[in-house]
Structure 1
Amino acid sequence: MAKQNTAPVVKKANLREVKRAQEKDDLETLEEKASHPENYNSSKFFVDLPLSEKTQKGLAQCNFKQMTEIQRKGIPLALAKRDVLGAAKTGSGKTLTFLIPVLEILFRQQWNAADGLGALIISPTRELAVQIFEVLKKIGKAHTFSAGLIIGGKEFKVEQERIARMNILVCTPGRLLQHMDQSVGFTCDNLQILVCDEADRIMDMGFQNTMNAIIENLPPHRQTLLFSATQTRSVKDLARLSLKDPEYVAVHEKAEHSTPKTLSQHYVVAELPKKMDVLFSFVKTHLKSKTIVFLSSCKQTRFVFESFCKLQPGVPIMHLHGKQKQTKRVDIFRKFTSSQHAVLLCTDIAARGLDFPAVDWVVQLDCPEDADTYIHRVGRTARFAADGHALMILVPSEVEGMLEDLKKKRVPIEEIKIRTSKQQSIQKQLQSFCFQDPEIKYLAQRAFVAYMRSVYLQRNKKVFDVTALPAEEFALSLGLAGAPKIKFVKKAEKKMMGAIEAKTRKQVEEGSGSEQEEEEEEEEEEEKVKEQKTKVDRMFQRKNQDILSEHYSKLVDFEGDKLHVEGEEEEDDEDFLKIQRADHELESESEEDMNEIEGQNISKRKLKMSKKERAKNMPRGDKLIFDDDGVAHPMYELVDEKDFLKDGDAKSQIKAFIEEKGEAMETADKEDKEFAKQKKLAKKIKRKERARAALKEEGASGSSASEGEEDESEGSAMSEDESEEEEKVERKRKWFEDSDSSDDDSNKKRVIDVAEPETLEDQEALALKLLGA
């Protein structure tokens, strides 16, 4: 039996060894082929490349067969484990150029979960990271690597639990750095490949500090791949990333134009107040198109979206910007991707790398920051040799500078005119919306300020001049009654005026003699002195003056602040600090007080403070309680444990306290009941006295004895009835009476024996007795 069982086991072991040997040979051959990238320069199909069966299978399932130009040049170099700087037009297939080498290099090294993180792919935006991750899942289906998507807007704790087990990470810089700082067990010590998609955006000022911190945590011995439509070649950036002899692959460098040939590009010159009319007219005339509209800020995007939704142009309107939650951004991204006809209003968050299928038009409502941003924006259309159209709307002050920048970047663009017959004005509708809906008005105000600030903050002042914009007219075009006040516009105007004055001065200096030069120098010195004086004044006008009290008291000579005496020379107007005094002495400024002030080192400004200001700076008091001896104690005073236990343990003290307070409450309850009884009795006596007085008045006014007798008899009968009713009411137990207490007097029947009344006095006496009873 033993011999029969060993034979199959031996065969299985042999098969495993043969299989392992075969896999090892295949990996060695792949490694050998990949080390000679020059052999694949003429390859046009993915099948021709030295790729594993698993990668070939994933590419075939996604119908990726023929390579683009950037893929033909970049993939063989990346497979040979060389550092690559890839620059190609938008929509040229850069994503596959770095995803295929990532999968292949980790596969050739037989990477598994125990080896940790092997590849890191960094993207500047969340949407682009999601898109890269989706492509990675499709082409890497057959591989056994674990891959993760790390972006902001998701649950951080869930990512922390899984991140240590990932072999490939697609992430944004901020979220990655957060995990490096906070996630236990997450290390990048074994990292093999670092990929930066849209590298020029990642390496610019916006992500500089974040990327520096990330690079410090990465091993220096690694492969680095950088890809973008407008690649950086800065020596500093390359040195920061520790690139070793990088291969620069630039597909469009020798091309005639930086943008695809199938893209038609035009621009329109429109006044700033007419921009919204031009955009709405464009949307109304392109209802069966898929359009992306770029704006400069999130607030503008939201305002235009809300306004256009109310205007109902006849096509679905969507908006995408950085202030939205991650889930909403992903939903809008997918919804627009699957739409046939729609308008997407967005910021530059959607300008880089995103692959929206079948986009017909890219409209730039606001001027792009530079030519590179323009190239990335228009790259959302005319992708993979498809046709596309681009339209840029420029303000007259932006035309000259922007066209010059585009010409340097080899971007062909032509001007077109707007047909006035097809242009619609929406200014009245926007005014109506702002009047009826406060939220729309608020969004319009924020959009106005955001646009003006975006223009003011741009570096290229040849293109962006905030002082040349008609602010009032622009505000009216958004539906506002007037332009909100903006401080930075005034600053820009002052700077411009200063520059003009400086130019005129130079011109005057060149043409004038020495006398004019001396006069101008004197004026400049006087202005400098005035500026210095105003700076000092500002310093001493600050609210938190306490920190400057010592310095201030040294600077101010209180003793020397005297009235001007005849015969003495008047002080110069340009004194550092000048304090005027009245003829009389103030009570608060006597010599004794001033000596005390100098001794305490209190600033003079502190004396002039109001009561409210003094109360803010005063120390807070503690609430005290005085005992029987008149000694003050804090509200809550703690007792030592020994002193506390002198009166017994805690339970016995609690019991005694409850009993003591219970007895006190019982006595207080009895006192309250007795007081209520007395009060009720007093009310009863007063009521009876009032009745007696009323009877006397009625008796005095009677005309005859008989009538008086009838009245008295009726009065006595009524009083008897009332007294009986009152007694009945009194017999009911009240809240202040005990259950066993009973009024003996009320239960007893009172009988009064009197003779039959004969005269009026007898009747009155009988009535009084009855009332008294």
Structure 2
Amino acid sequence: MVCVAQGITGRTRPTKVKKQAGAQKRKRDHVDVEQLDDAVAELDLKDGAYKDFTDLPLSGATKAGLKAAHFSMMTDIQAKAIPIALKGHDILGAAKTGSGKTLAFLIPVLENLHRLQHIGADAGLGALIISPTRELAIQIFDVLRKIGKHGHMFAAGLVIGGKSLEAEREALTRMNILVATPGRILQHLSQTAAFNVDDLKMLVLDEADRILDMGFQRDVDAILDYLPKERQTMLFSATQSSKVSDLARLSLHEPEYVSVHAEDKSATPKTLQQNYFVCPVEEKLDTLWSFIQASKKKKILCFFSSAKMVRFVYESFRHMQPGIPLLHIHGRQKQGARLDVTTKFGAAKASCLFATDVAARGLDFPAVDFVIQVDCPEDVDTYIHRVGRTARYHREGRGVLFLAPSEEEGMLRRFEAKKVPIESINARQKKKQSIKSQLVHMCFKDPELKYLAQKAFVTYTKSLYVQKDKEIFNIKNYDLEAFAASLGLPGAPKIRFLKDDDDKKRKHQSRQELAVSDSDEEEAEGKQSKTVRTKYDRMFERQNQNILADHYKKLVQDGEAEGASDENDFTGDAPNVGKDDDDFLAVKRRIPAEGEDAGAEGADYDDPTASKGKVIHLAGASQPLIIDSNRREKLLKSKKKLLNFMDKGKKLIYDDDGNAHEMYELEDEDDFRAKGLPEEQRQKFLDAERDAVAQADVLDKAAAKAKRKEKARKRKERERGEMGVGSDEEGGVEIADADEDALANFRADILSDNDDDDEDDDEQPQKQGKKWFQSDSEEEAAPSKKRKKSKSVRHVEEPQTLEDMEALAAGLLS
């Protein structure tokens, strides 16, 4: 007797046991979802006694992910926001930087979708998380992956710019959770047909104040048009916007405003030490270099206002080798390079990162010691986001802000209104180092670095000019000439910002004010004309001969050539410098620079002491050539280029009498009028042409008639020759003499008949050749009418006797 255990079959694979285990697992998940729903419904939002993640009704997969990532205690924003979000309410969350806002919305996303069992490709997109920058989106996705990979079955994806669009389209249809930037997700919503968001459950906006501002307003409005109205929406930021217009655009339904630090005395973490340093713009780089030299073992993050400024400072400092690893990041870099920079800086123990505001929001760099804001931020919110890269998660950090003397008073008032405590510090003059001479030397040796310094100056000045808060950022309060010298430039490049403002002021001025200003300008021009030209003026007048000659000339062009002599008369930000914006193809020289030579032969030199230089009269040229420089004088050595300055010749033709005339010779107007009115001349011309045509017609008819007569005569002669051999005028038959050879005469007659046949064949039109689409078989098979009409060929046997010849002759005569 054989005993078989229950549930075990004779197969090698335990298929039945596996099916039972799967059924038990599905049943357990269903039971867990019901238990979680009941536990979430019993949450008391007013209690506020939740401190650990274990106190919340979370699934086993989420708890395992939090434990693996070493998250146990909840921060203040997490303790207040997560229970509200689990119940499905809309949230407006505001908390200080580094307070753990990322987990405050990632945990509700995982839990709400898990309780709804929104899993699999058929379920579609359940949650959409939008971030303003690519780096922040990557960071959010990394945290989501760390927490959700321990049991959750969701398909999550990252959709940002800089990657293959086709690869993202193929994966979008299978995603349940998406982390994206506004521009990229809008592109997929409008172009990817298979991307369906009709069943979206949750929408999260991280750094909501940045997303809702003017920079992303159109993108966000367009994205919201695609999303369903019935959804849960959560907004999180360090500086939250609670304007009614913004909330109405997002279709929020009775949102809960969660702010854990609203009653604090400071809007920044307590562990953050904040200082500002009054520093003129021309001393910023010296101070920054001295600070880096004194902090070589620290982790430093430096913020600038423009990408060109970041590139110049990085390249120049890298050449001087400060003794600390240098990195730089800005929005003009490719996505791969930006990701490498953030990875290297996050893993480094001592490094210095030069960045724009692309790294100011949400990025979590471990253990940043100093945040240096070299350029003043546009507002206090930007300052809070920048300085929030340090002192995160109750760690200590320090922020230093460089302020120009004209910026100090206005910024301090705004710091006080936003509850930002900041103290003034001074630099030790003994440890301060000047790098101005080194920058001048590097710019002199490296034209590309010099051009980069010029563009950095232009972009920095533009960033000051476009600021909305004119009480703080007044461009007239900055010493731009000294700032240009601190970058290693011999002078400030010409840029156009205030010129349009001056034009507007002149337009609205009264006549009396306009007359006074014009007189002041005339006096200023008179004083300026008496000034002595310096070596810098002569240096700017020279033409730069390196590879950056065009860019250099457009940036440092002398103001007198453009009619701009005022210090604040800026003439252009872009490389195209001039009064008009449309001078991209404007001709700047009378003679092309490359190879414009003129021959010296046949040149008549005037007085070389003329006020305008040498005046040369070229033989064959109506206009003289002015030589006002040694370089232009060298152009007179080429005979070939001399032809470009000569007058153009005239093409002549000769009539029948041998007289020369121009090819296109026009009649004098007086001679034309003397011949009569235009209508009369037209009629005379038509009559003359009509007579000429009639006369030519008579001659053509006579020639045709003579041709026909000649043709008829030849035809009659041919017919008479065909009547027969030896026939006389009476029509009798000529009898051959006995002495003549009858056989020879007969052969001669046969040859004459063949000649006549050849003549007839010559007169007939030649047979057309075979077409390209006709074959030999078709031509042979098709019945041809020409064959029926063709003359039959008579085969004549050679006669042997006299009787044969007589019989043949009788046949021919009949």
Q: TM-score range by the shorter chain?
A: 0.5 to 0.7
Q: What pairs with 1:620-635 in structure 2 (closer than 5 Å)?
A: none
**1:63 is matched with which residue?**
70
**1:349 is matched with which residue?**
358
- Alignment of 1:396 with 2:405, yes or no, is yes
Quick one: distance in 2 between partners of 1:155 and 1:19? 38
**1:118 is matched with which residue?**
126
**1:465 is matched with which residue?**
474
Distance 1:477 1:26, change over 3 A: same
- Alignment of 1:314 with 2:323, yes or no, is yes
2:432 to 391, 399, 423: 423
Distance 1:14 1:75, change over 3 A: same
Distance 1:35 1:650, change over 3 A: farther
Quick one: distance in 1 between partners of 2:470 and 2:94? 28
Q: What one-letter code is carried by the residue in structure 2 that aligns with 1:332?
A: V
**1:386 is matched with which residue?**
395
2:37 to 25, 31, 36: 31
* Mean CA deviation greater in 39-48 or 287-296: 39-48
**1:631 is matched with which residue?**
none
Structure having the larger proportion of residues in helix: 1
Q: What one-letter code is carried by the residue in structure 2 that aligns with 1:71?
A: Q
**1:412 is matched with which residue?**
421
Quick one: distance in 2 between partners of 1:426 and 1:495? 40
Quick one: distance in 1 between partners of 2:334 and 2:113? 34
Q: What one-letter code is carried by the residue in structure 2 that aligns with 1:135?
A: V
**1:51 is matched with which residue?**
58
Q: What one-letter code is carried by the residue in structure 1 that aligns with 2:72?
A: K
Q: Deviations over 1:86-129 (max 9, x none)?
A: 00000000000000001001111112221011110000000000
- Alignment of 1:132 with 2:140, yes or no, is yes
Larger radius of gyration: 2
**1:212 is matched with which residue?**
221
Quick one: distance in 1 between partners of 2:354 and 2:774? 72
Distance 1:25 1:476, change over 3 A: same
SS at 1:318's partner residue?
strand
Q: What one-letter code is carried by the residue in structure 2 that aligns with 1:136?
A: L
- Alignment of 1:292 with 2:292, yes or no, is no
1:245 to 244, 254, 260: 254
- Alignment of 1:260 with 2:260, yes or no, is no
- Alignment of 1:192 with 2:201, yes or no, is yes
Give the superposition deviation at 1:16.
5.3
Q: Deviations over 1:445-502 (max 9, x none)?
A: 1100000001111111111111211111111110111111111033346668999x79
Q: Deviations over 1:300-342 (max 9, x none)?
A: 0000000000111110110000000000000000000000000
Quick one: distance in 2 between partners of 1:496 and 1:269? 33
Quick one: distance in 1 between partners of 2:232 and 2:460? 42
Structure 1: unaligned runs, 5 residues or longer: 506-537, 544-586, 591-644, 653-773
- Contact 1:466 1:492 (8 Å CA) reproduced: no
1:86 to 90, 93, 108: 93
SS at 1:38's partner residue?
coil
- Contact 1:467 1:493 (8 Å CA) reproduced: no
Quick one: distance in 1 between partners of 2:433 and 2:773? 86
2:384 to 375, 391, 403: 375
- Contact 1:381 1:387 (8 Å CA) reproduced: yes
Distance 1:144 1:20, change over 3 A: closer
SS at 2:252's partner residue?
coil
- Alignment of 1:73 with 2:80, yes or no, is yes
User: How many residue pairs end up in the alignment?
Assistant: 522
SS at 1:115's partner residue?
coil
1:648 to 765, 768, 771: 771
Distance 1:10 1:390, change over 3 A: closer
2:497 to 468, 488, 506: 488
Q: Deviations over 1:732-771 (max 9, x none)?
A: xxxxxxxxxxxxxxxxxxxxxxxxxxxxxxxxxxxxxxxx
Give the superposition deviation at 1:239.
0.8
Give the superposition deviation at 1:136.
0.4
Give the superposition deviation at 1:10.
8.5
Give the superposition deviation at 1:23.
2.7
* Mean CA deviation greater in 112-121 or 338-347: 112-121
1:181 to 174, 177, 190: 190
TM-score (normalised: structure 2): 0.61
Quick one: distance in 2 between partners of 1:217 and 1:486? 43
- Contact 1:466 1:489 (8 Å CA) reproduced: no
Q: What one-letter code is carried by the residue in structure 2 that aligns with 1:90?
A: T
**1:529 is matched with which residue?**
none
Quick one: distance in 2 between partners of 1:462 and 1:96? 39
The CA RMSD over aligned residues, in Å, is 3.1
Quick one: distance in 1 between partners of 2:770 and 2:208? 78
Distance 1:147 1:421, change over 3 A: same
Quick one: distance in 2 between partners of 1:419 and 1:369? 28
**2:790 is matched with which residue?**
none
Give the superposition deviation at 1:61.
0.4
Distance 1:396 1:498, change over 3 A: farther
- Report sequence identity in percent: 52
Structure 2: unaligned runs, 5 residues or longer: 9-14, 514-578, 585-665, 670-767, 776-814
Quick one: distance in 1 between partners of 2:505 and 2:431? 39
**1:454 is matched with which residue?**
463
Distance 1:437 1:11, change over 3 A: closer
Give the superposition deviation at 1:648.
2.7
Quick one: distance in 1 between partners of 2:326 and 2:769? 80
Quick one: distance in 1 between partners of 2:297 and 2:19? 65
- Contact 1:467 1:492 (8 Å CA) reproduced: no
Quick one: distance in 1 between partners of 2:362 and 2:254? 26
Q: Deviations over 1:599-635 (max 9, x none)?
A: xxxxxxxxxxxxxxxxxxxxxxxxxxxxxxxxxxxxx
Give the superposition deviation at 1:184.
2.6
Q: What one-letter code is carried by the residue in structure 1 that aligns with 2:359?
A: A
Distance 1:473 1:30, change over 3 A: same
Q: What one-letter code is carried by the residue in structure 2 that aligns with 1:394?
A: L
Quick one: distance in 2 between partners of 1:265 and 1:223? 38
Q: Deviations over 1:162-192 (max 9, x none)?
A: 1111111011000101111222311111110
**2:163 is matched with which residue?**
154
Q: What pairs with 1:568-607 in structure 2 (closer than 5 Å)?
A: none
Quick one: distance in 2 between partners of 1:651 and 1:432? 85
**2:337 is matched with which residue?**
328
- Contact 1:269 1:396 (8 Å CA) reproduced: yes
- Alignment of 1:279 with 2:288, yes or no, is yes
Distance 1:497 1:41, change over 3 A: farther
- Contact 1:36 1:80 (8 Å CA) reproduced: no
Distance 1:90 1:28, change over 3 A: same
SS at 1:487's partner residue?
coil
